[in-house]
Amino acid sequence: MKPILIILGMMLVTYTPRLLPGLLMERFHPPAWFEKWLKNIPYAALGALIVPGIFAGETWLIGLVSGAVAVILSLLRVHIVLVMAGAVLAAYGVQVLF
Amino acid sequence: MRRNSKEFIRGIKAGLPIGAGYFPIAVAYGALAMEAGLGIRDASLMSLIVFAGASQFMAAGMFIAGAGGLQIIATTFFVNLRHLIMSLSVHHKLEPTGLGLRALVSFGVTDETFAFLTLQTEGETSKINPYFTIGLNTAAYVGWNLGTLLGCFSAQIIPAEISTAMTFGLYALFIGLLMPSVRRSRVAVVVAGASMILNTLFCLVLDTGWAMVLATIAGAAIGTAVSEGEA
């Protein structure tokens, strides 16, 4: 599939749920379990995006080191962009050293 | 008319911190989307018409992982489905207005604009002016798209050795998004942990994209079941 079609598809599936409440207004009341499930989806998607992909590089060591740097920097409540920069530098360092 | 443009400008001012917060993250998105093989046109088109940060990074990640189109769209759908609930509360707080404006307000519903509109005005009985909301969304939208463009252009001057390491910036972003929730809620730990394990297992038998979609749906469901048990 061409990237532009994928992006159009992404728009369709993103805008529709945003739009529906504006159209239906008060006639729509989702059950509580559904709301909970929706709230949990981003955590699940993030988990699936991190593991096992992060270990799939040239060597799993790169992912381990840069991932650990990201965890530590996030725990220190550093700005997200600096967390990313730190992890990229760590990955670059491991690449150079090994 | 005068009141509406005033509200719009008030909305833009209120949205500036959101737009400014989006900006550097969008720069990172632009650079990573280029790294994922999307050109400037497609990378910025995604910011222009999808306008949903986390899912755009996820799509870039899936492009890198070699996932197929349907898999990327399916993940986007499930990840952004939460905006249904957010849009519901935003529209609940909105002054009655025409369909066109409601459609426009809907487009700008993100985690951050939702949080601002519902939390900042919590306890206030008065409804929110739609033009204020659209102003707020505009500031966020402009910040996100300007950042994307800058990111796309800066990607071209990043040296090749760094750019292979840049995919690890993507993982770092995902970790950085996850950590605050993991600190705060045990359910988030269970959900993320479960989907990591499930995805690793699914990857053995399915291709990357569908494994992610299934792990996401099932991981979230496990968390929901756990929190039901607690309540």
Angle at B139 between CA B39 and CA B167, to 5 degrees: 35
| Chain A residues whose beta carbon lies within 8 Å of the beta carbon of residue B144 | none
Q: Alpha carbon of B71 to those of A41, B56, B207, B209: distances in Å?
A: 16, 14, 10, 5
Is the CB of B188 less than 8 angstroms away from the CB of A43? yes
- CA-CA-CA-CA torsion for B115, B118, B123, B125, nearest 10 degrees? 160
d(CA A85, CA A81): 6
Cα four-point dihedral sign A87, B192, A37, A49: positive
Distance (Å, whole) CA B78 – CA B62: 14
B184 Cβ under 8 Å from any chain A Cβ: no
> In chain B, positions 1-20, which contact chain A (CB-CB < 8 Å)?
none
Contact B175, A78 (CB under 8 A): no
Residue of A nearest to B170 (CA): A84
Tens-level pLDDT at each residue, chain B (231 residues) = 688 999 999 999 999 989 988 998 899 999 999 999 999 999 999 999 999 988 999 999 999 988 999 999 999 999 899 898 889 888 888 898 999 999 999 999 998 898 888 776 656 667 899 999 999 999 999 999 999 999 999 988 887 777 778 888 889 988 998 999 899 999 999 999 999 999 999 999 998 888 988 999 999 999 999 887 664
| CB-based contact B188:A47 (threshold 8 Å) | no
- φ, ψ of residue A76 to 5 degrees: the values are -80, 5
ipTM for the predicted complex? 0.90
Distance from the Cα of A61 to chain B's closest Cα (Å) equals: 12
